[in-house]
Structure 1
Amino acid sequence: MNSTLRRDADAIIRSSLNAVLPDEAVRRALNAFAPRGGRVLLVAAGKAAWQMAHAAVEALGRVDGGVVVTKYGHVKGEIPGVTCCEAGHPVPDENSFAATEKALALVQGLTAEDTVLFLLSGGGSALFERPLLPGEELQDITSQLLASGADIVEMNIIRKRLSAVKGGRFAQACAPAEVFSIVLSDILGDPLDMIASGPAVPDTSTCAQALAIAEKYHLNLSEQAKTLLQQETPKALGNVTTRITGSVRELCAAAANACRELGYEPILLTDQLCCEAREAGSFLGSIVRTHTGHGKKLAYIAGGETVVHLTGKGLGGRNQELALAAAPAIAGRNAAVFSVGSDGTDGPTDAAGGYVDGETLAALAAKGWNVFDTLQHNDAYHALRAVEGLIMTGATGTNVNDVAVALLRD
C-alpha cells in the first residue's frame, strides 16, 4: 500500500465528512422555526436522525415529547424528552414498525396550535414505516428491489404506495397541527418527495409509474400489493413548511477543499453519479490512465450514489465495489481511488467504503484474489480487508450520498 496516498485519502475523507455533519445545518434551518404557541413535538427518522434531534433539542432547549428512529448502532445517548429507537436498514424490520407506531401515537389528537418538528434524513424509507400489507411481504418486496439494481427513486415510488406514512401520509396524520420539516438530502437533485419517500411532502409520482417499475423489474407481488400500487397518494398538503439542508454538493465541495489543501488540483466530474458501482470505478481508473505523466497532483471527484446489481452472495457495498473495480486500471501507477458513504456504512457491512492504489492489484493477486471473480461474487469486503483497503469511520451521524475520488501524484 502507498502510505502517502492512503494518508492523503484518510485526511480528505475526515475533512469532507466533518463538513457535512448535520448539527450546524439543523441549527441554521431552525432560524425559520416559529411555533404557534401550543405543544412542540419532535419526530426524527433516518440515519442522521439522532444527530439531527440532538442538535435540535440543544438549540430549542426542550420539546414536549419526541420519537427518534434510526439505524442500529446510531443512537449515541439519551435526548431529554425524546424516545430513541433503533431499527432495520435497508430492509425494514419489526423495530421499524414499532418505532413508527410510537411516532404516530405521539401526533394523534393534536390541535392547530401545536407544531411537529419533523427531522428527516436518508434511510427513512426503511426506518420509518407502517406497512399497508403484511410486514414480511414489504420486506420481501424491498429485498427484490435491492437485488434488481433499481435506483433509489424507483424504489421509493413503489414503497410510498405500500405505506401509511410515506408519500405525504405522515403529514396528513399530524393535521391540523403544523409540520415544520428539516430535510437532510440523500437523493441527487434533492427531490423532496423522494427523500425517505417523502412522509411530509405531496407526492409527484403516479400509479402508472409504480406499475411500470413493478413490470420493469419483474417484481413478485400479491394481489393486495398490486391493488395498493393503483391507489393514488396525496398531491397537496396545507400544513407543511420544509427546509432542505445539506446535500452531496456540499460533500463534493468539502472534498475539493480538502484536496486543494493537500496540494492537489481538484476537478469535479459530477455530483450526480448514478450508474453501476463497478462501471464508475472502472471509469475513474481510466481517467487516471489518461492523465498519468502530466507531472501534476490531480484529484478527480465524483459525488452521487451508484447501484450494485447482485450476481453473487459475497459481502460488500457499492463504495467497496467501486474502489475494487478501479484497481486493475491504476495498477503500477502512483495513484489511488477511494469511495466512501457519508453515513459511515456501505451496504450490510461495518465499512464506510473502500480504497485501492497502484499496489493493490499485485497485493490481491499475492493473496489469491482475482478482481473480476470477486466482483462477480459481490465479495469486495473480504478482498479489500485482505489488503487493508477497507475505510472504517463508524456511524457519522449524517447521510448525504457518497463521494469517490481518484488521486494522481506524478
Structure 2
Amino acid sequence: MNTTLRAQAETIVTASIHAVLPDEAVRRALQGFAPAGRVFLAAAGKAAWQMAHAAVEVLGRPDGGVVITKYGHVKGEIPGVTCYEAAHPVPDEAGFAATEKALALVHGLTAQDAVLFLLSGGGSALLEKPLIPGAELQDITSQLLASGADIVEMNTIRKRLSGVKGGRFALACAPAQVYSIVLSDILGDPLDMIASGPACPDSSTCAEAKAIAARYGLKLSPAAAALLEQETPKALDNVTTKITGSVRELCAAAADACRKAGYTPVLLTDRLNCEAREAGRFLGSIAQSHAGQGQKLAFLAGGETVVHLTGHGLGGRNQELALAAAPALAGLNACVFSVGSDGTDGPTDAAGGYTDGDTDAALTAHGLTVPAVLADNDAYHALQAVGGLLVTGPTGTNVNDVSVVLVQG
C-alpha cells in the first residue's frame, strides 16, 4: 500500500466531512424562527441527533421532543428530547415503535403550537408507520435495495406503503405549523424525495409507482399492490421548509482539502448516479490517463451510485466503487477512494473504501480477483484483507457520497 496516498486520503475524508456537519447549517436555518406558542421537536434520519442537538443549543429545551436515528448514532442526552435508535436501510420494529412515539408527540396539537421537524437522509427507514405488515415492508425494502433501483424510484414506492411518508407526517401535526429543516442526501435536492418527504406534498404518481414495481419485478401482496393505487397528499398548508446542506457542499469541501494537500482539484460531477462498479472503473481510467505527467491532480465526483446484488457477500456502494478501480490503478502512483458522508456504507462498519497502485497485486496474493469479489458483492472482506477499508464511525451528517482520484504525477 502507498502509505503517503493513504494518509492523504484519510486527511481529505476527515476534513471534508467535518466541513459539512449540520450544526452551523441548522443554526442558520433557525434564524427568524420565533413561534409564539409551544415548540415540539421531531427529528429523523442519520443526522437526526446532531441536528437536534444543535437546535436545542439555539432554542433551549423544547416542550417535548423525539429523535429517531440509526443504531450507534446517539451521542448523548438532549434536554427535553427522547432519543431512539433503529435499523437502516431495512426498517425494524424499533423504528416502528419510535415512529409511534413521534406521532403521539404531535397528536392533538393546536394552531398555536409549532413542530420543528429536522429531517436527514435515512429517514425513509427510520421514520416509518407501515400500512402493511412490518415483515412485508421489510421484504419489499430488501427487494428494492437489491434491484439496482435509484433512491427516487425506491421512495416513490415506499411513500405509498407508509402512514408518515409523502406528506402524511405533516398532516398528523395539523393544525400545528411545521417548520422543517432538511439536510439533503438526494441529487438535485428534490424535497419530496428526501427521506420520502414526510412533510412535503408528493410529486410522484400512482402510475409511476406501478411502473417502477413492474420494472423491477417487485413481489407485492394484493394489499401492497392496492396501496400503489391510492394517491398521496398533493398539497399541505401547514409547512414551511428550508433545505440546508448538500453533496455540492461536500464536493467543495473535498476540493479544498485536496488543494491544501498540494493537488489541483477538478470536479467531474456532483450528480454521479450509476452502478458503483462502473463508476470505479471510470475513475480508474482517469488515473491511467493522467498518471506520469508530472502534475498532482485530484478528480472528484459526488453523488450516489447503486449496487445490483448478484452475490451474498458483504459491502457497500463506496467499497464496490473503490475496489472496481483497483485493476486500472495497478502499478500507478495514484489512488481512488470513496466514502459515504454519514460514515456508514451499506450494512457495514466502514464508511467506504480505498485502493491504489499496489492493491491489485495484494489481492492476488490473497487469492482474490476483483471480478470474482464483485460478482459476490464481497468488497468489504476483500478490502479488509488488504487494508483498504476507510472507517470513520457515525459522523452526524448525511449529504451523499464523494469519490476522489489522487494522481501523484
Q: TM-score, normalised by structure 2?
A: 0.99
Task: Map 1:75-154 to 2 at 5 A.
Answer: 75-154=74-153
1:318 aligns with 2:317: yes
Secondary structure of the corresponding residue to residue 162 of structure 1: coil
CA distance in 2, matches of 1:317, 1:33: 39
Residue 343 of structure 1 aligns to a residue whose secondary structure is coil
The letter for the 2-side match of 1:355 is Y
Given the alignment of the two structures, is residue 370 of structure 1 paired with residue 369 of structure 2, yes or no? yes
- Mapping of residues 53-64 of structure 1, within 5 Å: 53-64=52-63
1:389 aligns with 2:356: no
| Aligned position for 2:37 | 38
What is the match of residue 5 of structure 1?
Answer: 5
CA displacement at 1:291 relative to structure 2: 1.2
- In 1, the alpha carbon distance for the partners of 2:22 and 2:86 equals 20
| Cα deviations by residue, 1:257-293 (Å, 9 ceiling, x for unpaired) | 0001111000000000000000000000001111122
Structure 1 position 368, deviation (Å): 1.1
Distance 1:228 1:153 in 2: 18
Q: Which residue of 2 aligns with 1:180?
A: 179
**1:295 maps to what in 2?**
294
How many residue pairs get aligned? The number is 409
The one-character-per-residue Cα deviations of 1:119-167 (angstroms, maximum 9, x if unpaired) are 0000000000001111111111000000111110000000000011000
Aligned residue identity for 2:394: A
Shift of 1:367: 1.2
Q: CA deviation at 1:32?
A: 3.1
Q: Secondary structure at the match of 2:12?
A: helix
Query: Residue 355 of structure 2 aligns to which amino acid in structure 1?
Result: V
Q: Corresponding residue for 1:70? A: 69
Q: Which residue of 1 aligns with 2:20?
A: 20
Report what 1:195 is aligned to. Answer: 194
Aligned counterparts, 1:249-288, within 5 A: 249-288=248-287
How far 1:34 moved relative to its partner?
Answer: 2.5
Gaps of 5+ in 2: none
**Partners of 2:82 and 2:304 in 1: how far apart?**
31
* One-letter amino acid of the counterpart of residue 121, structure 2: G
Q: Quick one: distance in 2 between partners of 1:6 and 1:32?
A: 44
In the TM superposition, residue 294 of structure 1 has moved relative to its aligned partner by 1.9
Instruction: Percent identity, please.
Output: 78
Q: Structure 1 counterpart of 2:73, which letter? A: H
Q: Aligned to 2:308, what secondary structure does the other structure show?
A: coil
Find the counterpart in structure 1 of residue 160 from structure 2. 161
Distance between the aligned counterparts of 2:202 and 2:86, measured in 1?
25
SS of the residue corresponding to residue 160 of structure 2 reads helix
| Cα distance in 2, alignment partners of residues 158 and 49 from structure 1 | 23
The CA distance in 2 between the partners of 1:109 and 1:85, in whole Å, is 22
Q: Post-superposition shift, 1:61? A: 1.3
Please identify runs of 4+ aligned residues in structure 1 that moved more than 2 A. none
**Corresponding residue SS for 1:31:** coil
User: Match for 1:69: what amino acid?
Assistant: I
Where does the alignment leave 5 or more consecutive residues of structure 1 unmatched?
Answer: none
Which residue is equivalent to 2:203?
Answer: 204
Alpha-carbon distance, 1:295 to partner? 0.9
Deviation at 1:109, TM superposition (A): 0.6
Q: Partner amino acid for 1:217? A: Y
* Corresponding position of 2:234: 235
